[in-house]
Amino acid sequence: MLKVILIDDEPLARQGLRQMLTAHSDLEIVGEAGNASAAEALVAAEQPDAAFLDINMPRKSGFDFLRDLASPLPVVFVTAYSEYAVQAFEVQAVDYLLKPVDPRRLAAAVARLEEACGRKNPAAPVYEKDDRICLRTPQRTVIAKLDDIVAMEAEGDFTRFHIVNEAPLLICQTLGHYEKTLPSSQFIRISRKLAINTKRLRKVEPVTRDETRLELDGLGAPLMIGRRAAARLKPSK
């Protein structure tokens, strides 16, 4: 059982979130707070595993609350403002939900929270087609729509992401991880080294018996793939 607290200065927002979380039997809500000071006392008293946290609150923001905690606390931000998303993931937020909260997004956030707290198999959280993904490197953080991911290339234990209007990102996670967590209806791994977004596929052109050229919307240069990879792009009969 994962012990969580709700922190939001709007009582109706806390009530609505509490009601939605009753669908998740693996979570126990051990307290609520309407401001950062009350939340700090609640953390000390209840020792929760995680928190659902608003950002804009009187006197101290959600970011201030996290900064002043003696020990890190996994959080899912729940806010009406999209402009804090990059900052939220820079402080290692597990997820970022916009009000009004969609039940499907909440379910995905709960799964990611359980993984972050070591309560579920890492393969459990699965992104849905309308989700965004947070990709971090030591230099920058990018939050991308799944539709904007063009292709992913394996480089050892790393994955290089090709995203529309972004320089390629080398992420410290294997391609196999993303193969399990991104929607299989949209992303297909066609070889050991390459997975593509089928929504971005514009042209498949055989060049020789053993080579095929792929053109992907959002990728400047075409990709060359072998016969086996090309066969995986053909619909099964």
At the topology level, CATH places domain 132-231 in OB fold (Dihydrolipoamide Acetyltransferase, E2P) (2.40.50)
Helices and strands per DSSP (H, E), number in the chain: 7, 15
CB 78 within 8 A of CB 84: no
H runs (alpha helix) in the chain: 11-21, 36-46, 62-68, 85-90, 103-116, 175-181, 227-231
Residue type, position 54, single letter: D
pTM of the model: 0.65
Helix (H) or strand (E) holding 2: strand 2-7
Q: How confident is the model at residue 112 (pLDDT cuts 50, 70, 90)?
A: confident
What is the pLDDT at residue 84?
92
What's the Rg (C-alpha) of the chain?
Answer: 21
> Which residues make up the CATH 3.40.50.2300 domain(s) of the chain?
2-116
Q: What integer is the mean pLDDT of 205-221?
A: 93
What is the pLDDT at residue 120?
62
Class (C level, CATH) for 2-116: alpha beta
Look at residue 56 and give its three-state secondary structure.
coil
> Which residues make up the CATH 2.40.50.1020 domain(s) of the chain?
132-231
Helix (H) or strand (E) holding 28: strand 27-33
Task: Read off the pLDDT of residues 113-170 as tens digits, 9 standing for 90 and up.
Answer: 988 888 765 544 567 777 888 888 878 888 899 999 999 999 998 999 999 999 999 9
Q: How far apart are CA 218 and CA 177, in angstroms?
A: 23
Task: Read off the pLDDT of residues 72-104 as tens digits, 9 standing for 90 and up.
Answer: 999 999 999 989 998 998 888 999 999 999 988
Q: How confident is the model at residue 171 (pLDDT cuts 50, 70, 90)?
A: very high
Look at residue 148 and give its three-state secondary structure.
helix
What is the pLDDT at residue 232?
86
Helix 103-116 × helix 11-21 angle, to 10°? 80
Q: How far apart are CA 78 and CA 8, in angstroms?
A: 8
Joined tokens for residue 163: 């995203």
Where does residue 107 rank: exposed (0-12), middle (13-18), buried (19+ CB within 10 A)?
Answer: middle
Look at residue 155 and give its three-state secondary structure.
strand
Task: Read off the pLDDT of residues 175-192 as tens digits, 9 standing for 90 and up.
Answer: 988 998 898 889 999 999
